[in-house]
């Protein structure tokens, strides 16, 4: 089976919002073994929506519309699909009651135009919206399936998972299952070179590089009648890639570098403290995005100025005078200082030149020094990164987290 997604809304064409619905739906449909060959976007215009539906019906088994289910006159999706299919709309009492209850719970009076959100063809399977006022619908006609969904992701996603997935699962004989390998420290071209023969020989499963910021992702995808059978196909390919890339494979699927580091700290019952200069707290921000990070993360100091490095971390004025703020020596004293004052098991520090100004011939923009102390003796490392200020800050943060990961793994 194949599907087409029609995003409806002039705001999509104007670039006022990003069409994340299409991304979500394509991913979910692929998991069920349903191929998506077409994405279409059309404005709030009856004739153009009808034309999009006509075209989609000639080439797709499943046609999914997103958006255009609101109460206003320019919300035309459901009405136009019904017109296209030659069906009349009538009031769906359970939906009307839920909409009325929704407004009552908010202490507001329902407007008369909200009634149109409860109008559906009699032939439709109406999909309850637990997160808004716009129900969706599924309509089958002439061996085609039309699925009408609201636009807001907070409404569309649970509706699709809770109602559409069970409906479509009964119509597919196989599913598509994936495993994503997350890789850091090796460039995309180098990764491709190391697994080139696997890429050339692939069948089922397939191997595909994915666009990523600051890292490389490889998605291994198998088509099978069950997850267990798919995992059996994926496992040997995954093992071969891991053998070739080694410790550069840092995580899987939705894992992030910071979540991996937090889990390693938790497993070893170790506590971390950070001293950040050039990254301006970005490493701490990444870490504290992980629920439960407070179990292992004690504190962070953004010691941006030399005065702060001296007063808060005990960096020697002589060190700063002789070697500068961006140096092995300063990074070392920053890491040792934060570990001592915080009482953490591990102290880590970073200092560098993020640019665009401040660089010299001896110390160019992108020069970064990192230090880690507590696991063994204090160690420092030098990096030279490219890109603009934000890329240098982000890249520096990932490099320090990755170095921590490798230290924690021993």
Q: What is the DSSP letter of 186?
A: S
Measured at the CA of 329, the angle between CA 325 and CA 330, to 5 degrees, comes to: 35
313's CB contacts (< 8 A; 6+ apart) are 275, 301, 303, 333, 334, 337, 338, 341, 349
Least reliable range by pLDDT among 2-11, 222-231, 232-241, 272-281: 222-231
Over residues 31-67, the pLDDT tens digits come to 787 889 999 999 999 999 999 999 999 999 999 999 9
As a whole number of angstroms, the distance between CA 133 and CA 333 comes to 58
* Two structure tokens written together for 292: 């439960």
The verdict on 226 and 97 lying in the same domain is no
Contact 274, 349 (CB under 8 A): yes
- CATH number of the CATH domain containing 241: 3.30.70.2860
- CATH number of the CATH domain containing 319: 3.90.950.20
Residue 214: pLDDT band (50, 70, 90) is confident
pLDDT in the model for residue 381 = 98
pLDDT in the model for residue 253 = 93
pLDDT at 203 over 90: no
Residue 86: pLDDT band (50, 70, 90) is very high
Residue 252 to residues 178, 181, 226, 288, Cα–Cα distance (Å): 11, 5, 20, 20
pLDDT in the model for residue 58 = 97
Which residue, of 128, 147, 169, is where some domain finishes?
Answer: 169
Which residue, of 169, 198, 226, is where some domain finishes?
Answer: 169
As a whole number of angstroms, the distance between CA 83 and CA 48 comes to 13
Question: What does the pLDDT average to over 193-207?
Answer: 92
Q: Tell me which residue of 28, 32, 84 sits closest to 53, measured CA to CA.
A: 84
Question: What does the pLDDT average to over 118-139?
Answer: 96
Residue 170: pLDDT band (50, 70, 90) is confident
The verdict on 230 and 316 lying in the same domain is no
Contact 75, 69 (CB under 8 A): yes
The verdict on 242 and 112 lying in the same domain is no
The verdict on 288 and 368 lying in the same domain is yes
pLDDT in the model for residue 225 = 83
pLDDT in the model for residue 264 = 98
pLDDT in the model for residue 138 = 98
pLDDT in the model for residue 293 = 97
DSSP for 316-344, please give it.
-HHHHHHH-SSSHHHHHHHHHHHHHHHT-
Residue 224: pLDDT band (50, 70, 90) is confident
Least reliable range by pLDDT among 32-41, 46-55, 173-182, 281-290: 173-182
Which residue, of 140, 169, 198, is where some domain finishes?
Answer: 169
Range of the domain at 389: 260-409
pLDDT in the model for residue 213 = 81
Range list of β-strands (E), 14-128 = 35-42, 62-66, 89-91, 119-121, 125-127
Question: What does the pLDDT average to over 156-169?
Answer: 93
The verdict on 79 and 214 lying in the same domain is no
pLDDT at 139 over 80: yes
The verdict on 215 and 245 lying in the same domain is yes
The verdict on 91 and 191 lying in the same domain is no
The verdict on 39 and 86 lying in the same domain is yes
The verdict on 265 and 246 lying in the same domain is no
The verdict on 159 and 191 lying in the same domain is no
pTM: 0.74
pLDDT in the model for residue 346 = 98
24's CB contacts (< 8 A; 6+ apart) are 153, 156, 157, 160
As a whole number of angstroms, the distance between CA 39 and CA 235 comes to 32
Query: Considering the chain, what is the average pLDDT of its residues?
Result: 95
The verdict on 225 and 287 lying in the same domain is no
Q: Which residue has the tokens 């909409």?
A: 99
**Between these two residues, 169 and 103, which has the higher pLDDT value?**
103
Q: Please state, as a whole number, how many other Cβ atoms lie within 10 Å of the Cβ of residue 212.
A: 14
The verdict on 26 and 124 lying in the same domain is yes
Question: What does the pLDDT average to over 5-14?
Answer: 96
Q: Which residue has the tokens 């075209």?
A: 55
pLDDT in the model for residue 300 = 97
As a whole number of angstroms, the distance between CA 116 and CA 95 comes to 10
As a whole number of angstroms, the distance between CA 323 and CA 305 comes to 15
pLDDT at 410 over 90: no
Question: What does the pLDDT average to over 236-258?
Answer: 97
Q: How many domains does the chain have?
A: 3
Q: Above pLDDT 70, what percent of the chain?
A: 100
Residue 380: pLDDT band (50, 70, 90) is very high
- CATH number of the CATH domain containing 33: 3.40.980.10
204 by Cβ neighbours in 10 Å (0-12 / 13-18 / 19+) ranks as exposed
Question: What does the pLDDT average to over 325-341?
Answer: 98
pLDDT in the model for residue 174 = 73
Contact 314, 308 (CB under 8 A): no
pLDDT in the model for residue 202 = 87
Question: What does the pLDDT average to over 205-232?
Answer: 88
pLDDT in the model for residue 210 = 79
pLDDT at 359 over 80: yes
């Amino acid at each position: 089976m194949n599907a087409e997604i029609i995003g409806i809304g002039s705001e999509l064409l104007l670039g006022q919002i990003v069409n994340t619905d299409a991304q979500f739906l394509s991913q979910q449909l692929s998991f069920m073994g349903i191929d998506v060959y077409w994405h279409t976007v059309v404005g709030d215009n009856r004739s153009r929506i009808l034309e999009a539906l006509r075209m989609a019906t000639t080439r797709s088994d499943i046609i999914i519309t997103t958006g255009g289910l609101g109460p206003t006159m320019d919300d035309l999706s459901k009405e136009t699909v019904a017109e296209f299919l030659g069906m009349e709309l009538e009031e769906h009492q359970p939906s009307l009651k839920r909409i009325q209850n929704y407004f009552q719970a908010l202490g507001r009076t329902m407007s008369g135009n909200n009634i149109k959100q409860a109008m559906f063809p009699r032939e439709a399977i109406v999909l309850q919206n637990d997160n808004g006022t716009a129900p969706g619908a599924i309509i089958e006609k002439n061996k085609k399936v039309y699925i009408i969904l609201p636009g807001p992701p907070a409404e569309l996603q649970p509706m699709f998972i809770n109602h559409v997935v069970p409906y479509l699962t009964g119509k597919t004989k196989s599913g598509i299952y994936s495993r994503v390998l997350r890789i850091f420290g090796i460039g995309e071209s180098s990764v491709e070179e190391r697994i080139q023969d696997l890429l050339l020989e692939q069948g089922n499963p397939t191997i595909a590089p994915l666009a990523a910021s600051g890292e490389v992702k490889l998605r291994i995808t198998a088509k099978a009648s069950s997850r267990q059978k798919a995992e059996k196909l994926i496992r040997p390919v995954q093992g071969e890639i891991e053998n070739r890339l080694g410790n550069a494979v840092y995580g899987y699927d939705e894992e992030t570098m910071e979540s991996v580091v937090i889990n390693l700290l938790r497993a070893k019952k170790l506590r971390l403290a950070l001293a950040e200069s050039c990254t301006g707290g970005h490493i701490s921000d990444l870490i504290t995005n992980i629920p439960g990070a407070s179990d292992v993360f004690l504190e962070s100091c953004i010691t941006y100025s030399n005065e702060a490095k001296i007063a808060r971390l005990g960096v020697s004025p002589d060190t700063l005078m002789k070697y500068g703020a961006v140096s092995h020596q300063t990074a070392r004293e920053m890491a040792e200082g934060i570990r001592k004052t915080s009482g953490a098991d591990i102290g880590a520090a970073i200092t560098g030149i993020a640019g665009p100004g401040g660089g010299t011939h001896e110390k160019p923009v992108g020069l970064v020094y990192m230090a880690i102390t507590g696991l063994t003796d204090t160690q420092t490392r030098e990096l030279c990164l490219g890109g603009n200020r934000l890329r240098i800050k982000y890249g520096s943060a990932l490099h320090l987290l990755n170095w921590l990961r490798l230290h924690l793994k021993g």
